[in-house]
Homo-oligomer: A and B are copies of this chain.
Amino acid sequence: MATITLGEIAAHLGGRLFGDASLSITGTAEIDKAREGEITFLANPRYRSFLKTTRASAVIVDEKAGEVPEIPHIRVKDAYVAFMKTVLLFHPPRELLEPGIHPTAVVDHSARLGEDVRIGAHVFVGKNVRIGKGTRIFPNCVILDHVSIGEGCILYPGVTVREECGIGNRVILHNGVVVGSDGFGFAAHEGRHWKIPQVGRVIIEDDVEIGANATIDRATLGETVIRSGVKLDNLVHIAHNVVVGEHTVIAAQTGISGSTRIGRHVMMGGQVGTVGHITIGDHAQIGAQSGVSKSVPPGEVVFGYPARPIMKTKRIEAALNNLPELIKRVRQLEQGMQELQKKIGSR
């Protein structure tokens, strides 16, 4: 295992060191799990009490964190970001692919590859494909004709991209991601479903990351678009003609129906479903497993099945807990009422 001195870490982070610069650090861990020799961090004041009990040999804290007792520490602007940099110091990204094109890969002669593109075993690259500088294509990926992939991308094993799709720079597609499969469109006619040709494509902009086995359908006409900075988790389904706005984050197993437009900086929990042809406004938040059946205004926080404003759903949930008892209370009221009516009638 590599060891790095505390002084080297402080220098790398541009932070102020309080403690012995020559101290050997062997790795990184969370504050409650760290062992002797490891460095940890404190960003959330809720964990402050762990400062006294942690077995870590050093800790990274925010500049404006209060007094830190005894333990060697480094003060930085953002302790969390600094810790991530430290993690990468101990785990520098490994190069898993050999330089060049693996001899078993099939790359059409018309493909244009940038500098230091690496292509693994059994990859297929079709006609007129463009792949930008430094992009990595892992074994068993398939890229069909006329696809364009930008610089610095990673396509992990088993990714498949259908014809004519466009992928930006620094995009990460995890194992088994599907880009550009046909949208689900049929016209009912005389008791059968006739396939509506899906002749559009998928555009994925820069800095997008898409989780394992997620599927992004091509548009019927035009484009399905995943805008810059979007992060989609595993097994997410994006239907045809959907647009997902910049820096939106969608958790695992969520499904977005056709032609729905999702704004910028939206946060969606896992297993959410939306109907088609609606709009989710910028900065909206959708709780896990919600069923979104109509448009959500910008900034709104909705939750539930069906999705309602979160305070409404919480009130309903609390009321539901009391519902069986409420029914008893109504029955008692009815009896009380009957008795009163008898009394009054009998006078």
A interface, CB within 8 angstroms of B: 28-30, 33, 78, 80-81, 84, 87-88, 90-91, 93-94, 96, 102, 104, 106, 120-122, 124, 126, 138-140, 142, 144-145, 156-158, 160, 162-163, 172, 174-176, 178, 181-182, 184, 186-187, 189, 191-197, 199, 207, 209, 211-213, 215, 217, 221-222, 229, 231, 233-235, 237, 239, 247, 249, 251-253, 255, 257, 265, 270-271, 273, 275, 288-289, 291, 305-306, 308, 312, 315-324, 326-327, 329-330, 333-334, 336-337, 340-341, 343-344
Contacts and interface: CB of A to CB of B under 8 A. Distances in A.
A196 B144 contact: no
Given A104-B122, A106-B122, A142-B175, 13 more contacts: A80-B187, A81-B189, A84-B194, A87-B221, A90-B199, A94-B145, A142-B158, A156-B162, A156-B181, A184-B252, A235-B235, A316-B324, A336-B341
A286 to B, nearest CB: 13
Contacts of A81: 187, 189, 194
Contacts of A124: 120-122, 139-140, 157
A329 B329 CA distance: 12
A175 B175 contact: no
A287 to B, nearest CB: 9
Contact of A337 (B235, B265, B322, B337): B337
A229 B340 contact: no
Contact of A184 (B215, B251, B305, B317): B251
Contact of A157 (B144, B207, B229, B270): B144
A344 B341 contact: no
A33 to B, nearest CB: 7
**Which of A140, A231, A306, A324 has the largest count of B CB atoms less than 10 A from its CB?**
A140
Contacts of A234: 178, 181, 184, 215, 217, 237, 239
A124 B209 CA distance: 24
Contacts of A320: 316, 320, 323
30 contacts: A29-B222, A91-B199, A104-B104, A122-B140, A124-B139, A138-B144, A140-B142, A142-B157, A144-B157, A160-B176, A174-B182, A176-B178, A181-B211, A184-B231, A184-B251, A184-B252, A186-B249, A192-B229, A213-B215, A234-B239, A235-B255, A257-B270, A289-B291, A289-B305, A316-B321, A320-B320, A322-B327, A326-B330, A337-B340, A344-B344
